[in-house]
Structure 1
Amino acid sequence: MKFKDFKQEMLNDPEVKAEYDHLTPQYELIRQVIELRQQQHLTQKALAEKTGIAQSAISRFESGNHNPSLEFLQRLAQGFGKSVYVELREKVRLKNSLFFDRTLVEAGITIASARLPTRA
């Protein structure tokens, strides 16, 4: 079975879908930070030196084992030469049918200088 098919099958379970939707903003932010770090050819250690954040804290964040504070995100953003923008919005349905609060995604997207998909 292909992963895409397995994922779709699992998301048919309402409990799994709810948890997946809940975690989507967090993992999207993590993905964007890792992508930025790689684009800038930075190791976790180099990013730690630029930001004053412990390398172990960056590692925990990237592995999903650390719930970052706004200060943590601001220091990461500064290390990338970016800024953080957080905005509370209504939950929206995106084209991929996921429901989630865009707050953390907004912060991550702004760090990555990208935009969210349009509303469906």
Structure 2
Amino acid sequence: MEKKHKKIVYPSFEQYLAQQMKNKAFRKAYKEESHRLEIAYRILQLRKQQRLSQKELAQKLNTTQSVIARMEAGQQNFTTDTLQKIASIFNRELKIDFVK
């Protein structure tokens, strides 16, 4: 006799995320991480627009290429001093705001 296996239905990512966002700690961590990734992506965009290598940007920041790689991967915490230096290198203004 053949056993019938129940088909397991997994929620979509959106459904999973909506469920997880009900948890206050998760919601806080998700927001913090999304901001870090947004900054990381913007640094990557600016570097590529200026046609700089990670090594060249690292030299301008007096750091190493591996630090730039971590920044662009969202694996680095950013200080306002570092962000200001990056803004200056790319002839940009750093704008930080507190929103509700």
TM-score when normalising by structure 1: 0.60
Q: Distance in 1 between matches of 2:66 and 2:60?
A: 14
Cα RMSD of the aligned pairs, angstroms, is: 2.2
Aligned amino acid, residue 16 of structure 2: M
Q: Distance in 1 between matches of 2:40 and 2:12?
A: 23
Aligned amino acid, residue 45 of structure 2: E
Q: Distance in 2 between matches of 1:79 and 1:23?
A: 25
Q: Which has the larger radius of gyration?
A: 2
Worse-matched range after superposition: 28-37 or 8-17:
8-17
Q: Identity, % of aligned pairs?
A: 29
2:78 aligned counterpart, secondary structure = coil
Aligned amino acid, residue 50 of structure 2: Q
Aligned amino acid, residue 96 of structure 2: V
Aligned amino acid, residue 66 of structure 2: S
Residue 49 of structure 2, aligned match among 39, 42, 67: 39
Aligned amino acid, residue 13 of structure 2: K
2:83 maps to 73
1:90 aligns with 2:91: no
Q: Distance in 2 between matches of 1:81 and 1:22?
A: 26
Aligned amino acid, residue 85 of structure 2: R
Residue 54 of structure 1 and its aligned partner are, at CA, apart by 2.3
Residue 51 of structure 1, aligned match among 45, 57, 61: 61
Aligned amino acid, residue 24 of structure 1: S
Residue 17 of structure 1 and its aligned partner are, at CA, apart by 6.1
Residue 29 of structure 1, aligned match among 39, 55, 60: 39
Aligned amino acid, residue 53 of structure 2: T
**Structure 1 residues 6 and 45, CA, compared in 2 at 3 Å: closer, same or farther?**
farther
Structure 2: which 5+ runs fail to align? 1-10
Count of residue pairs the alignment pairs up: 86
Residue 7 of structure 1, aligned match among 1, 6, 13: 13
Q: Distance in 2 between matches of 1:17 and 1:11?
A: 10
